[in-house]
Structure 1
């Protein structure tokens, strides 16, 4: 925990430390044409220890993105997966996406006694974005296949209204998440043998369907062309097959809240 709190303190102090040094060259300068803008970042989150949990934990997630010098920075929500566009226009983009998900371990709670562990997983797949109202309303869908911890398929749908006020960007909108039968059974199912060991849990074998419905919001402030910080919050309500699971209904909770603080640094790379 001391490591995570230290990371949070660093994120808060980074913009101030950057302002104390010498000014960097303008990232918006389009010359030379072969230059790239690379953005490195990190986010500290406080959220559910696993899907459907009634206890929270701290986590840290790094990020990286890049764009050609002179190109405006594209909008990205804090809960977007890492992605790379294979095709892109002013309003539409399509490409590959991937993310990392922490697992569920019986050692994290006495109420999970007898449950099999669900290890961490990498989810990789495709994304598509469309702006019905250019620069204001973004819609996005991600479809990802799990590896290691689970081998199911997840589909996430989101929409964000984006308002810019100088250096300040406010965004937010609804979220919907679905999972196929393999994903739901792995994360929300209870086998008869597990139910025999843990009397709090009844056997449960969910089918594919809706997992959660929620809303997310973010507040981003650009301290300079190099430094920016982001505050965000997300609320999810477990629904349908996930809400009926004993792991949620009996030993967890349907309401899931995540808050976070992120910081990013952009620099120019001339090639």
Structure 2
């Protein structure tokens, strides 16, 4: 099983939803502020096939967000999860978040023969973000857990972005850090003795929890109108500590993880 057909199907659904919304009121409707603003789109990227992979693939992901009509359009980085603000103001926001995480399959790389597959999953959790410098510096934390079982484990992503606007352009970027618990680390970077016996390229390995990777993301957006926005971005992550020491990474993968992509979004109003 591969994730690509699922992602492409979801992307098509996102685009079809945007087309069906073409008759909805524009974002800048003159009617009183009520209802919701929905933002849909698609994200096309080249990224590693799985955590620690040296081989790359092309992925298509949908994007979606919703906010109250009286809530101003805030900043969103390309690597933010699908979120919805339950509580917040101009400096602080908190609410549920979801993310689609790809899997690792032996069919994608013959070097993985003998190792267990790590299935793709939908992660759910909470996010919190804070603006120490209003409209300039954003701090964000996402804590998520996969829905396929205990082996998915918890992941915590911490990010910081400096945001600078130049007319219709928005330039943003900042450091990234990702943490994972023992279940996630074991599923993605661990090797059982039975697996090592089947694959001579690896050895038994039991990673511990903690810091998984550090990195940086930079993005440049252009607002064609109140409704349409295009974003190009690049993200680099460096696996560290127990993740970097895994034989899956050292002997058949890479510590350096690069993602390059583009995203297009369409916003429309529903309700009054």
TM exceeds 0.5?
yes
Contact kept? 1:176, 1:212, Cα under 8 Å: yes
Give the CA RMSD over aligned residues. Answer: 2.4
* Distance in structure 2 (CA, Å) of the matches to 1:262 and 1:95: 23
- Partner residue in 2 for 1:227: 228
Q: Which stretch has the larger CA shift, 231-240 or 26-35?
A: 26-35
* Distance in structure 1 (CA, Å) of the matches to 2:92 and 2:52: 34
Unmatched 5+ residue regions in structure 1? 12-21
- Partner residue in 2 for 1:165: 166
SS at match of 1:85: coil
- Partner residue in 2 for 1:136: 136
SS at match of 2:72: coil
Matched, 1:154 2:137: no
- Partner residue in 1 for 2:18: none
Matched, 1:254 2:255: yes
For 1:40-66, what per-residue CA distance to the aligned partner results, in whole angstroms no more than 9, with x for missing partners? 111011100000000001111112222
- Partner residue in 2 for 1:85: 85
- Partner residue in 1 for 2:189: 188
For 1:211-266, what per-residue CA distance to the aligned partner results, in whole angstroms no more than 9, with x for missing partners? 10000011110011111111011000000010000000110000000011111111
* Distance in structure 1 (CA, Å) of the matches to 2:123 and 2:72: 29
Distance 1:25 1:102, change over 3 A: closer
Contact kept? 1:28, 1:71, Cα under 8 Å: no
Give aligned pairs, total: 258
> 1:30, CA displacement in angstroms?
5.1
Contact kept? 1:27, 1:70, Cα under 8 Å: no
- Partner residue in 1 for 2:69: 69
* Distance in structure 1 (CA, Å) of the matches to 2:25 and 2:198: 63
* Distance in structure 2 (CA, Å) of the matches to 1:97 and 1:173: 21
* Distance in structure 2 (CA, Å) of the matches to 1:60 and 1:151: 22
- Partner residue in 2 for 1:48: 48
- Partner residue in 2 for 1:100: 100
* Distance in structure 2 (CA, Å) of the matches to 1:97 and 1:163: 25
* Distance in structure 1 (CA, Å) of the matches to 2:166 and 2:146: 38
* Distance in structure 1 (CA, Å) of the matches to 2:193 and 2:25: 63
Distance 1:215 1:113, change over 3 A: same
Normalising by structure 1, we get a TM-score of: 0.89
* Distance in structure 2 (CA, Å) of the matches to 1:228 and 1:33: 22
Structure 1 residue ranges (4+ consecutive) displaced by more than 4 angstroms after TM superposition: 1-4
* Distance in structure 2 (CA, Å) of the matches to 1:253 and 1:26: 46
For 1:100-159, what per-residue CA distance to the aligned partner results, in whole angstroms no more than 9, with x for missing partners? 111000111111111010111121111110000000000011111122163311111000
- Partner residue in 1 for 2:19: none
Distance 1:167 1:179, change over 3 A: same
Unmatched 5+ residue regions in structure 2? 16-21
- Partner residue in 1 for 2:122: 122
> 1:90, CA displacement in angstroms?
1.1
* Distance in structure 1 (CA, Å) of the matches to 2:34 and 2:88: 19
> 1:268, CA displacement in angstroms?
2.2
> 1:33, CA displacement in angstroms?
2.7
